[in-house]
Amino acid sequence: MPVDDLCVSRVPIFQGLTREEQLRVAEFVRPVHVAKGETVYSPGQSVSRLLVMHSGQLKVSHAAANGQEQILRTVTDGDVVGERAFLTGHLPNDLVVALEDSRMCVFDHTDLSALLRDYPDVGLRMLRTLSDRLASVERLLAAITSSDVSARIAAYLLDLPGSIRDGVPTVWLPLAKYEIASYLGTTPETLSRRLAALSASGVIELHGRRDVTILDIDGLERVATPR
């Protein structure tokens, strides 16, 4: 099964296993492809599975009590989704939607349980992944409570995986602006104003809707670390 094999071997939490072990793990796994815009997971869904991302990007959001959608995170290669349902037995109450065409490894919970018992390394790597996520949420939390919106935006832009185009650092926003606003704990209006301000002061340049070039990295870093 070359496809399953590929799926397992590409994902960080299964690296460190021998090829033979990977093949055995592959028997438990189902490779799944979802198209952009499709819903992967919806709240209260009784059948719950563990997803391990392999390519593409998903967004995880939470319908708050007041009806607002709160973006919790975006997940990319190597990230894990749905571990809480497996670990604690609670039903998932997040909404997961594909931002791009995505591929992932899917495990049923019963299988996963046995898997972790047989391959402690996998558990260790999962722990590492969760620990990273925890650190990243705590960073975001600290950022939201202790800095203003401009600083959060700057930090967000600096965190984004960037590329160099024509010698200038460029980032491609993975989310629509109103979604970024939600993620950063603000509103689209404020985000728009602050981006405009950063642009006016020559720190960044906006091209089209999702394309940002960073003209002055140091300046942006200064904004991200306020006094």
Q: State the Cα–Cα distance between residues 20 and 39, nearest whole angstrom.
A: 34
Assign 3-class secondary structure to the chain.
CHHHHHHHHHCHHHECECHHHHHHHHCCCEEEEECCCCEEECCCCCCCEEEEEEECCEEEEEECCCCCEEEEEEECCCCEECHHHHHHCCCCCCEEEECCCEEEEEEEHHHHHHHHHHCHHHHHHHHHHHHHHHHHHHHHHHHHHHCCHHHHHHHHHHHCCEEEECCEEEEECCCCHHHHHHHCCCCHHHHHHHHHHHHHCCCEEEECCCEEEECCHHHHHHHHCCC
128: alpha, beta or left? (left if phi > 0; alpha if psi -120 to 50):
alpha
Instruction: Report if residue 195 touches DNA, rule: CB under 7 A.
Output: yes
**Nearest approach, Cβ of 208 to its own copies (angstroms)?**
27
Select from 2, 120, 167, 208 the one that contacts its own copies (CB under 8 A): 120
Instruction: Report if residue 83 touches its own copies, rule: CB under 8 A.
Output: yes
Select from 3, 145, 161, 164 the one that contacts its own copies (CB under 8 A): 145
**Nearest approach, Cβ of 199 to DNA (angstroms)?**
8
The site map against its own copies for 97-116 (x = CB under 8 A) is -------------------x
Q: Please, which of residues 123-152 interact with DNA by CB under 7 A? A: 148-150
Cβ proximity to DNA: between 11 and 191 the closer is 191
Instruction: Report if residue 189 touches DNA, rule: CB under 7 A.
Output: yes
Cβ proximity to its own copies: between 38 and 118 the closer is 118
The site map against DNA for 149-188 (x = CB under 7 A) is xx-------------------------xxxx-----xxxx
Query: Which residues contact DNA (rule: CB under 7 A)?
Result: 148-150, 176-179, 185-196, 206, 208-210
Query: Which residues contact its own copies (rule: CB under 8 A)?
Result: 62, 64-66, 68, 70, 72, 83-84, 87-88, 116-118, 120-121, 123-124, 126-128, 130-135, 137-138, 140-142, 144-147, 182, 185, 225-227
